Structure 1
Amino acid sequence: MQWKIDGPRTVPQAFPYQGSKRALVGQILSLFPEGGIPLLIEPFAGSAAVSVAARHYGVAQDIAISDVNGPLIELWRMIIDAPAELIDVYTAMWHEQQVGDDPLASAKAYYMEKRREFNQTHDPAILLYLLARCVKAAVRYGKGGDFNQSADNRRMGARPANMQERIMSASRLMQGAKTSSESYEDPLVNAPREALVYMDPPYQGTSDVPDHRYLTGLQREVFAETLQHAVDNQVSFIVSYDVVREDKKYGEALPEELGLTHRHVTVGVSSQATLSGRKEMTIESLYISPALVARLGGEDKIDTLVNVVPEDQPALF
């Protein structure tokens, strides 16, 4: 069935994060086996939008999230295990940033101070503050691994009461979830056959480029080899890999030899384009492993579960 997401607040979002699959979770959950799954593994966690949604709708019993971005995973550990402490620290920072005769100027200087502190300490609570204040909630890292995104100086970040609501809601849903800062290979290749692995790896167009949107890049060839091992082990997995906007597509398709079922699905209007004054439809590229296709009843069944873009209709703009 197609899961209906009634509005942006239906599924909690612990923190803003550019690239979050929150708008796509309805389609992704539609590709879960009927009756749900005993274990969902999300090894490129980010904002863990799929895991949070799976718990929200009761279609995943156990959750395991991981990400090579250590401070991000530590932030998730605080959300799960110490949400009140995290909210207290965030609240203090939110008020401290506005001390002075000119609150906006004070907040700008305060952000830069906290960014320097984070790059020295990797404090996850400071990361939450940076995510709330940085431009477009877009994480950027320099070549040396330092967080280098600028502040959005038009706003102060989510008010403490709003942040408390988001953090506590996500915390309740994610109780018992396992967290790890390990890389994706082992959680994917050695996933139990009854589990499902959802992956949202860095797009090729955002890895190894000047703005460094991710802490580490992801080589397509190495990723494809790992996917082959997972296919051989009959792992059920879904991969979000490259997005299409107008005539622009990032990166190459995954190799056909993997035997993955590839579908373009409609997501909705691009929020990034909207910020730039344009209206563009976003189309997401999903790859589904043979083991999961078999569990769902075959490729024809896939096309009844998600909003597939027809092959003879490559653009919907």
Structure 2
Amino acid sequence: MKQVYSQISNLPPKPFVKWAGGKRQLIPILNENLPESFGTYYEPFLGGGALLFHILAERKDQRCSISDLNSDLVLTYTTIRNRIDELISSLKNHERNYHKDSKSYYYSVRESSPRSEIEKTSRLLFLNRTCFNGLYRVNSKGKFNVPLGRYSNPNIVNEGNLRSVSAILQTNKVAIKCQDFESVLRDAKKDDLVYFDPPYQPVSDTANFTSYTNKNFTCEDLNRLAELCLKLDSKGCKVLLSNSDSKDVADMFSNKFWKINRIQANRSINSNSKNELGILNY
């Protein structure tokens, strides 16, 4: 059995949650825009972690500091790292119950409030795999409120990838934290790379999606982010930012040392725009 697990963990890890604004389809473009060399990699809006897993697969010894303000998401990362066997067992139980009566079971899990770390994590993964469009959204009270999706046989457990993710997160070169994005200023040093992938600014009234936590990402937060990027630049950090092709965003990064690239990206969640902005200072 140990030999099987070893083989599984050698598979390249991929995002284990479907996340609005996820970067899997943009990895080739983002990879082209990475600097040839950098110190520690920081990602303060972690989400599904597509670029993180790509970097870890390509650069085995890369030191990373990852964080997010969504405490449930951060718990999911640490539980996958530390308690993978228990988590997979819990997910298999969800899978069995789901196939008995998918609708009734889904809504019973959605209304539940488990206390243990294992059950909290497996609940998030189960809902993410079975909810409509894989959309993570909470209301003002922090309650997950997405309806059941239409799937005939969702991959609820996805054991091979979970074990690969667990193996790569167990290295002491990856630090996982739950904190506001501004905290990166305290830790990042010259030549470190900081990648910001915040909730995108809406490009229309119908594209407003910022509810990853029960606190929306506001224009004030975007201003804080722009100021933080200037401070990181003054420290000699390498900064890469993704956001919607919004005039507000472009105006905030109009200083001549920012390079702004327009990237084509078709999304089913989070944006009606076909373009995104890639902003960097190197």
Secondary structure at 1:204 match in 2: coil
Offset at residue 62 of structure 1 (A): 1.1
Would you say 1:186 and 2:183 are equivalent positions?
yes
Would you say 1:165 and 2:157 are equivalent positions?
no
Aligned to 2:145: 148
Residue deviations 1:103-140, cap 9 Å, x none? xxx21121111112148778122101111111111111
Offset at residue 52 of structure 1 (A): 0.4
Aligned to 2:280: 288
Q: How does 1:123-142 map to 2 (within 5 A)?
A: 123-142=120-139
Offset at residue 175 of structure 1 (A): 2.7
Change beyond 3 A, Cα 1:124–1:258: farther
Change beyond 3 A, Cα 1:142–1:125: same
In the alignment, residue 211 of structure 2 is paired with which amino acid? R
Would you say 1:204 and 2:206 are equivalent positions?
no
- Percent sequence identity is 21
Change beyond 3 A, Cα 1:284–1:189: farther
Please list every run of 5 or more consecutive structure 2 residues that lacks an aligned counterpart in the other structure.
Answer: 1-10
Would you say 1:30 and 2:35 are equivalent positions?
no
Residue deviations 1:67-107, cap 9 Å, x none? 000010000111222222211111111111223xxxxxx21
Secondary structure at 2:99 match in 1: coil
Whether the 8 Å contact between 1:17 and 1:137 is mirrored in structure 2 is yes
Q: 1:195 aligns with which of 192, 213, 221?
A: 192
Length-normalised TM-score, structure 1: 0.73
Q: How does 1:234-313 map to 2 (within 5 A)?
A: 234-243=236-245, 252-253=249-250, 254-257=252-255, 259-267=257-265, 270-272=266-268, 282-289=274-281, 293=282
Change beyond 3 A, Cα 1:120–1:82: closer
Whether the 8 Å contact between 1:41 and 1:187 is mirrored in structure 2 is yes
Residue deviations 1:157-192, cap 9 Å, x none? 3153xx101211222233322111111102146412
Please list every run of 5 or more consecutive structure 1 residues that lacks an aligned counterpart in the other structure.
Answer: 1-8, 100-105, 244-248, 274-279, 294-317
Residue deviations 1:13-43, cap 9 Å, x none? 3222231101112222223332x43421111
Q: How does 1:6-155 map to 2 (within 5 A)?
A: 12-34=14-36, 36-58=37-59, 61-99=62-100, 106-118=101-113, 123-155=120-152
In the alignment, residue 214 of structure 1 is paired with which amino acid? Y
Whether the 8 Å contact between 1:18 and 1:136 is mirrored in structure 2 is no
Aligned residues: 260
Return the structure number with greater relative CO, CA threshold 8 A, min gap 6: 2
Bigger mean CA deviation after superposition, 45-54 or 199-208: 199-208
* Coordinate RMSD, CA, aligned: 2.9
Structure 1: how far apart are the matches of 2:45 and 2:255?
23
Structure 1: how far apart are the matches of 2:24 and 2:195?
13
Structure 1: how far apart are the matches of 2:149 and 2:192?
40
In the alignment, residue 15 of structure 2 is paired with which amino acid? Q
Length-normalised TM-score, structure 2: 0.81
Residue deviations 1:271-314, cap 9 Å, x none? 528xxxxxx9943211102xxx1xxxxxxxxxxxxxxxxxxxxx
Change beyond 3 A, Cα 1:207–1:140: farther
